[in-house]
Amino acid sequence: MTKLSSLLRWPQSSLQRSLFCYVVLPMLLLCGLAIRFGLSFTHELVSQSLRSDLELIGRAIRTPVSDALLNGDGNAILANLESVFAINEIYGAAVYNTSGRLVASTGLADNDLTRSLAASEAVRTGEQQESYSVVSGWQLYSQFMPVTDRSGRIHGLLQITRRASDFEQSLTHLSRLAWLSWGALALLSFLIIRFGHNKAIGRYLWQLLGSMRRVAQGEIQHRAVLSGPAELQEVSRGLNTMLDSMQQSEQQLRQQQLQQQQLTQQLKEQEKMAVIGQLVSGVAHELGAPLTVIDGRVQRVLREHNDEDTERQLQAVRNQVSRLSTLVRQLQAFAYTPVAQRQPLSVAELLQQAIHSLSFELQAEDAQPQLQQPCPKITLYGDPGRLELALVNLLRNAVQAATSSVSVQVEVKAGELAISVLDDGAGLPPQFSTEQLLSPFVSTKAQGRGTGLGLAIVQQIVLEHQGKLLLSNRPQGGCCVRISLPLQTEVAAKPEANV
């Protein structure tokens, strides 16, 4: 009962209402008009048929009644009049003279037609006439037919009657059946719209609308289910394609924003490094010449004075001058802008040269850098001097931090060369981030033992070669510094001008 009442409720869906108002309702109106005109046409046909029946009956008895009327045979007249009751729905018959006086009658009939216009007109024109009248409380329909003799002279009038309601009753059942059928059709159409729309379209539309509401609430990952008619599936597919495009555009926008942020950060870093480079270059130049003069003068004094105390004091001065000279060289390396044309290099030879260059600085008790396995035969395009400087700085830092061992690993993966320098020291200090460790003048060593330029120089050289520098702590202890450089057949970078 509840389900039936829900089906009979006025449609809540605007699409259902539109279908009902613009499709079903016009169809029902057309059907109603067709029924109305059909019933009118049928009523006219039935009425004509009933009139024709009376006319046929009148013609059948008119001649015998005329003969009986001429002969004055009342019994014959009554016998002929009573014969009409053999046909149903006949309520009376009567014969009148030309003045409208009753001669004989049977059933319901007018007693006097002297005032009947239809009767007078039938006598005057000799044509059949009809009229409605009330006899004994009955609404009757009468047909008047002139009675003529053999010569065609009118000498009487024949009246045959039936109830006027017979004309209406003949169509009452048909009309009732027609309008009941129209009502049933209207109800059936309404139910078909409700039930058929829900089964064929409605539930899929609600499903699609639900998906759209979820997307509107922020569920960008949601996608509409491809179900229902082909047209709705196409709409769902279009919605999913639009959402995919939106999501892809959003991802691209986020990537562009991230790249923009990175570029902005790199630009700021480059601007900062350029300013620092100019300052460092000037300081290194101003310090380099005086240190060379001091070292030369100290050497001359050492040659002229051979006593032990003087030699010890002068050697201390030379050590400090050497330390300052090393600082000047690092400052110059940091401020250096590459101008050398890159060339093919053997990675194995580059590593051996870096280890050899570092060996002059090592003491007997220092850890000696070692290759963990033979270096593969790989050709790298780059600036040999700058790459060697980067490796020497990494190896120097590893030796200074190591307890007992420093190792070098070489790997090739996905078109990249990875050189890892590993030590067994204390590892990276937790209070410093990677960005801080790669910044110039940031050192984790004791004061007076480091300038904080080593990793900054390495980072600068690696970026010059479109590579990456990664710092991490090893699980077993110690630090791992990895240089990743792209393996290219040729580098067509244009030389840059000195700062």
pLDDT digits (tens, 9 = 90+) for 234-288: 888 888 888 888 888 888 898 999 888 888 887 776 676 666 666 666 666 566 6
DSSP letter string, 6-74: HHHSPP-SHHHHHHIIIIIHHHHHHHHHHHHHHHHHHHHHHHHHHHHHHHHHHHHHHHHHHHHHHHT-H
- Residue labelled with tokens 């030879």: 349
Task: Report the alpha-carbon distance of residue 130 to residue 122 in Å, rounded.
Answer: 9
- pLDDT number for residue 422: 92
CATH number of 339-499: 3.30.565.10
CA atoms within 13 Å, Cβ hemisphere of 351 = 25
pLDDT tens digit sequence for 39-97: 777 777 777 777 787 788 888 888 888 888 888 888 888 888 888 776 666 778 889 88
What pLDDT, on the 0 to 100 scale, is given for residue 307? 76
Other beta carbons within 10 Å of 416:
13
Two tokens, residue 486: 């792209």
Question: What is the structure's pLDDT at 336?
Answer: 60
Mean pLDDT value across residues 196-224: 79
Residue 483: per-residue pLDDT: 92
State the average pLDDT over residues 288-293. Answer: 72
Classify the C-alpha dihedral 134-138-141-142 as positive or negative: negative
pLDDT in tens, 298-344: 777 777 777 777 777 777 777 777 767 766 666 666 656 554 567 88
For residue 287, what are its two tokens? 């310090």
What does the domain layout of the chain look like in residue ranges?
14-174, 226-335, 339-499
- Which tokens go with 90? 């006949």
Q: Give the pairing of strands 369-371 and 406-413.
A: parallel
More confident: 12 or 130: 130
**What residues have CB less than 8 Å from 57, skipping those under 6 apart?**
84, 87, 90, 160
Helix (H) or strand (E) holding 370: strand 369-371
Top-confidence range, 123-127, 310-314, 448-452: 123-127
φ, ψ (nearest 5 deg) of residue 57: -65, -45
pLDDT at 4: 46
Q: What mean pLDDT do residues 12-24 have?
A: 69
- Quote the distance between the C-alpha of residue 256 and its chain's center: 24
pLDDT at 445 over 70: no
- For residue 283, the model assigns a pLDDT of 64
Q: What percent of the chain has pLDDT over 90?
A: 4
Residue predicted with more confidence, 494 or 323? 323
Token pair listed for 174: 């048909």
If you classify domain 226-335 with CATH, what class do you get?
mainly alpha
Reported as a pLDDT band with limits 50, 70 and 90, residue 490 is very low
Domain 14-174 has CATH 3.30.450.20: yes
Residue 3, pLDDT above cutoff 50: no
Please tell me the chain's helix, strand, coil percentages from 3-state DSSP, rounded to the nearest 5: 60, 15, 25
- Mean pLDDT throughout 379-390? 86
Average pLDDT over residues 441-448: 60
- Strands 154-163, 92-96: parallel, antiparallel or unpaired by DSSP? antiparallel
CA distance 216 to 235: 16
Counted residue by residue, the chain has a size of 499
Placement of tokens 């620092």 in the chain: 276
Residue corresponding to tokens 């109800």: 187
